[in-house]
Amino acid sequence: MLIDEFLVSIPALGKALSSFFGVPYEAYRGDRIKPAELLKNLRREYVESGHWVPIDETQEGVTILTTDSERIQASRVVNNIFPKSRLVYKVCSQREFRQTLDLFYGGGASTDSGGALAGDESSMDDLLTSLGGDEEDISGATQEDVSAAADNELVKLVNKVIVDAYRMGASDIHIEPAPGKAKTQIRVRKDGSLMNYIEVPSTYRNALVTRLKIMCDLDISEKRKPQDGKIKFKKYGPLDIELRVATIPSQGGVEDVVMRILASGEPLPLEKMGFSKRNDELIRETVSKPYGLFFVCGPTGSGKTTTLHSILKFINNPDTKIWTAEDPVEITQKGLRQVQINKKAGLDFATVMRAFLRADPDVIMVGEMRDKETVSIGIEASLTGHLVFATLHTNSAPESINRLLDMGMDPFNFADALLGILAQRLGKRLCSDCKKPHIATADEIKSMLTEYSGELVNTTTWKKDPAVATKSLYEEWIKLFADEKRQFTLYTPVGCEKCSGTGYRGRVGLHELLIGTDPIKKAIQEHSRVAELLAIALEEGMHTLKQDGMEKVLQGITDMHQVRAVCIK
């Protein structure tokens, strides 16, 4: 743990504290177990301002760690909180006290992501204080930047930023320097939203950026052009993760650095993807076919790669050769042969796909198909007996068909090859610890029915009799989502420590799965418009992204606000 390394000459201080207060000194221990039972009703703010915290319960009683045992004992405040327990007091320094709170309430050394932002500031303060250098030491000159960037404390700061961001489940780290004396802002993106993390004094601006550039082998003297690279963090810190780094020169002669934490690690099994029952069954059935083309579409950050990998995990067997071309390779799977795209070296998607076709594949996964060439190779591969998976940057499943045809694909070949298209979005999940339930009013359900039906207006069932269609939809909802009193429970976000006060924690996938059925294939051959394709798919039972999201609202997983936010057309 990084924190342990800051224990400088504490023993002497501890001895002094102990003899001053007449109670034993307790040194900070990074491996201390959080006493969850004792801390149950104690908020960090409360114990921090009170300068005491329970750390353990033994036969002797509850051990109270404090920075001022005399005052705490005299106030009897702890006796009121633990009225039935004997109390044992231990003293420590202010810094150790804060470190212990960080440990318990989610700071740098904790794996609990909840409240990590608030908890980190103090230990980060320590780190910034211990950096200690004065302004003259760190000028804008490159050579001095390098030595400053190699400074032990700065190295620790950078590592801590990365480790913290990873532990709190952030996807990106944004380093935003400002010219002059203004501080460098560091923000992190978590569950799709940015939040403030820390500010670093302007004195470390250049050294910080230089350190990051050194970590990913970028040209440190080039400050006027954007650069991109990759940090293999294993070389520098305690985590085996990779970060994709982009530097961008910004106003005032400074350089911004944005780092994407690559979600290394295991693919999720299909049952954990949050598919509706229909979608789950259809996906398993569709991707079990021996050949054809399957797309996952959605904007950047909608979780397409995660979904493709969990599909590949489902079909990954010793008797199947699976080649993947990805940029970057984020998730690795045993059994897959994964190729990292390297455009600088001439290794682009089309080149790699052609190579795969000569390498006896059963399944080919292509990170993205953006142009006519890659799509053509994909169609050709699937028509010659291979299963091909790819992602597309399109909004909806029916729209993807038109986009591909507009690229100049032969409608007959494409219709033959198409197995299915899955459109996906990620919405914020209501925090399960603080979401507030209420029984939905008749008006709420009525407006949801109207909004849901708005997606169906082009279908023949709807055109025939909207009232009948709405009635049967309502009965369906009652069956699936209501309680025995035919009532629906909806939830509103509240905010608690676990969700950093936002009311949301984690995300949920919204899906729209279009299957290449005979009527769909026929419509493709006839070059049908998006609205017609959509009507056919809905008639066959497809649920649009919004409908899938609304069902997840009725299940209490998310709320309408989130569904509308991610389903903007």
Beta strand residue intervals within 251-298, DSSP E? 254-262, 292-297
Is the Cβ of residue 201 or residue 506 nearer to Zn ion in the bound state? 506
Q: Which of 327, 388, 337, 329 is nearest to 359 (CA)?
A: 337
Is the Cβ of residue 123 or residue 502 nearer to Zn ion in the bound state? 502
What is the maximum span of the chain, computed from C-alpha positions, in angstroms? 90
- Chain position whose Cβ is nearest to Zn ion: 431
Nearest distance in Å: CB 191, Zn ion? 12
Nearest distance in Å: CB 190, Zn ion? 14
Name the amino acid, one letter, at 538. Answer: L
DSSP one-letter string for 59-117? TTEEEEEES-HHHHHHHTHHHHHSTTS-EEEEE--HHHHHHHHHHHHT-TT----TTHH
d(CA 451, CA 444): 11
Is the Cβ of residue 534 or residue 553 nearer to Zn ion in the bound state? 553
Nearest distance in Å: CB 434, Zn ion? 3
CA-angle at 324, arms to 262 and 273, nearest 5°: 60
d(CA 31, CA 1): 9
Nearest distance in Å: CB 501, Zn ion? 8
Nearest distance in Å: CB 107, Zn ion? 19
Nearest distance in Å: CB 303, Zn ion? 22
363 strand-pairing partners: 322, 387
Is the Cβ of residue 105 or residue 294 nearer to Zn ion in the bound state? 105
63 strand-pairing partners: 56, 88
Nearest distance in Å: CB 429, Zn ion? 11
Is the Cβ of residue 389 or residue 504 nearer to Zn ion in the bound state? 504
Is the Cα dihedral 36, 41, 44, 48 positive or negative?
Answer: negative
Binding positions for Zn ion, rule: CB under 5 A? 431, 433-434, 496, 498-499
Three-class SS of residue 244? strand
Residue 178 and residue 185 in contact, taking contact as beta carbons nearer than 8 Å:
yes
Three-class SS of residue 56? strand
Name the amino acid, one letter, at 465. Answer: D
Is the Cβ of residue 406 or residue 433 nearer to Zn ion in the bound state? 433
Nearest distance in Å: CB 410, Zn ion? 52
d(CA 170, CA 56): 31
Query: Two tokens at 203?
Result: 């004195």
Query: Two tokens at 400?
Result: 């993807």
Is the Cβ of residue 116 or residue 542 nearer to Zn ion in the bound state? 116
Query: Two tokens at 317?
Result: 């067997």
DSSP one-letter string for 462-501? HHH-HHHHHHHHHHHHHHHH--TTS--EEEE----GGGTT
Is the Cβ of residue 13 or residue 494 nearer to Zn ion in the bound state? 494
Is the Cβ of residue 433 or residue 526 nearer to Zn ion in the bound state? 433
Nearest distance in Å: CB 496, Zn ion? 3
